[in-house]
Amino acid sequence: MGIFDRFRLDGQVAVITGAGKGIGAGIALAYAEAGADVVIGARTEADLQRVAGRVEALGRKAVVVVTDVMEEDQLQRLADAAMNELGRIDMLVNNAGGFPPRPALQTSRRTFEQAFSFNVGTAYAMSIICTPLMVESAGGGSIVNISSVAGEKPTPCFSAYGTAKGALSLLTRELAQEFAPKVRVNAIAVGSTRTDALNTVLTDEIEQTMVELTPMGRLGEVEDIALGALYLASPAASYVTGAILAINGGLERLNMQMPRAFGGMG
């Protein structure tokens, strides 16, 4: 096998949450280009159909399943679709997640727990559903969790999101220990990446500040994350598990200036 062949995913099947746009869509397309068929879930069918069309243009199959990851029966339906339509699961990407910056004093316990459930609970539930199916249908597999630099670098107004992503990174390492050697579990600590979600808060001034605070001098692109997800899922990373791959432009602190609770900026 040549060195580049080890990045191929021919004959494999990936299940990807939050795949209607942004990073999830980018990963679906990267996996398809590498030879995989994909089962894609998100809440908006039109978004999924657009991604499916691009996957099929690459000569691969795409199974669309409208999915709200907060509903466990819908997570089960997503996994069942992979087994029923394509007969196996080799890879799971837990991409669905997110939560806007919010001061801790304006974040209720209920809201905090919702952020945690959305970013960690859903990934845990999907991993528990898919891992036995991977082993049963493919003899093993790979899970890639989309975490965040916010889970490693504390900053004001990220108590809910940062704590949730920090927990997701630790969950990655915990499951890697438990599921080895059959299923590898890794994560990507994503930095500020150009997606529709980020674009909703970007102004020219905010973007300039973020770029200036990023050592690599630019924001991330979806393809940057997709390439990391391809590596982690592929045979090229067959000896890698429990890793949190930093794809964040070299950030040692978050590149967003946020107010402290009692004055000043963090």
CA dist 140 and 134 (Å) reads 5
- Best CA proximity match to 150, nearest among 178, 124, 169: 169
Q: Is residue 161 annotated as part of the catalytic site, yes or no?
A: yes
Q: Catalytic one among 31, 124, 161, 239? A: 161
CA dist 140 and 182 (Å) reads 5
Are 206 and 214 spatial neighbours (Cβ–Cβ below 8 Å)? no
Please enumerate in sequence order all residues whose Cβ is within 8 A of that of 172, keeping only pairs 6 or more positions apart, or say none: 143, 145, 147, 185, 186, 187, 242, 244
**Crossing angle (nearest 10°) for helices 72-86 and 122-138:** 20
Output 151-156 pairs: Cβ under 8 A, ≥24 positions apart: 151/189, 152/189, 152/244, 153/251, 153/252, 153/253, 153/254, 155/253, 155/254, 155/256, 155/258, 155/266, 156/103, 156/258, 156/259, 156/260, 156/261, 156/265, 156/266
Residues annotated catalytic, as ranges? 161
